[in-house]
Amino acid sequence: MGIVSGAQPRPGMLRAAAAFLILFAVYQTSEGLQTVFAPDSPVGPALMIFALLLAWPLGRWLGWRGYDAYGLDRRPQSFALLAAGMILSALAFLASRSLGSAMGLYSPSDGIAAASVGFLAFAVLSTFIPSITEDILTRGFLLRSVPAQLTAVSYVVGSALLYTVNHIWRFDWGMSEQIRLFCLGLAYGAAAWRWRNLWAAVALHWGWNLTNALASELMPTDTLSTDAARYLSAAVNLAMLAIVLLLPRPSEQQNSQ
């Protein structure tokens, strides 16, 4: 699923690099404001929304129909893929939290929130926009708009490395966080490549982040061993990677529709 039929644009490397750097600069400015410099300011979230909107004209500049530049389309099959992937990712997150609790990595904490409509809407939007924007940046460009022939391994590993490096504001979190991010990136990148559709990666990424946000409010826990919890998260995502690789591969006819 996912590849649009017909001739595909082949933007030059300089143009593709320029588009990437423009989006990268806006995204990192937003992340820096939200995580380090001004976490209470609305400017950071506003810039994240701007980055997502900016990706559309950049896609046009690269010769595609907007978000098609990154493997995002509006076909019903893609939204079915999104729903299925989110369910898989949510189950994986809950499995990680359950295993961690059984291993003594988490303990219940006080302060359970009410699941109001406003809270649910905020959780959906506040996890969807950063997730899809980062997927465009770290996986979408490589999937469609980089004028280079990538193999499955080079794409998955390359996008996982790019995803890890993209978290520049977490470089001081330690090696366990970098390993966790790389393993998450492997699962997300493999999904995007296997279906040639960025919605597959968005599904796993957004599903994980949304479930985390909901669980943090509705089933709050204290982390007793941060490094061990990160390594467990990495292991669960490697298991999700295996599931992605074992799922039936779409036919070439489906890919061309």
- Collapsing DSSP to helix, strand or coil, 115 comes out as coil
Arithmetic mean of pLDDT, 52-81: 96
- Going by pLDDT thresholds of 50, 70 and 90, the confidence category of residue 11 is confident
SS (H, E, C) 14-83: HHHHHHHHHHHHHHHHHHHHHHHHCCCCCHHHHHHHHHHHHHHHHHHHCCCCHHHHHCCCCCHHHHHHHH
What is the spatial distance between Cα 224 and Cα 97, in angstroms, rounded to a whole number?
12
- Going by pLDDT thresholds of 50, 70 and 90, the confidence category of residue 188 is very high
What is the spatial distance between Cα 104 and Cα 137, in angstroms, rounded to a whole number?
36
143: which strand partners? none
- What letter does residue 143 receive in the DSSP assignment? I
Q: Is the dihedral of CA 32, 177, 55, 127 positive or negative?
A: negative
User: Rg of the chain over CA atoms, in angstroms?
Assistant: 18
- Higher pLDDT, residue 2 or 153: 153
Domain-by-domain residue ranges, the chain?
A: 70-255
- At 207-223, the pLDDT tens digits run 999 999 999 988 899 99
- Going by pLDDT thresholds of 50, 70 and 90, the confidence category of residue 28 is very high
**Cβ neighbours, 10 Å, residue 199:** 27
pLDDT of residue 80: 95
Q: Measured in whole angstroms, how far is the alpha carbon of residue 102 from the centre of its chain?
A: 27
Question: For the chain, percent helix, then strand, then coil, each to nearest 5?
Answer: 75, 0, 25
Q: Which of 197, 207, 188, 187 minimizes the C-alpha distance to 86?
A: 207
107: which strand partners? 222
What is the spatial distance between Cα 202 and Cα 71, in angstroms, rounded to a whole number?
11
- At 108-137, the pLDDT tens digits run 987 666 678 889 999 999 999 999 999 999
- Going by pLDDT thresholds of 50, 70 and 90, the confidence category of residue 257 is very low
Q: Measured in whole angstroms, how far is the alpha carbon of residue 145 from the centre of its chain?
A: 18
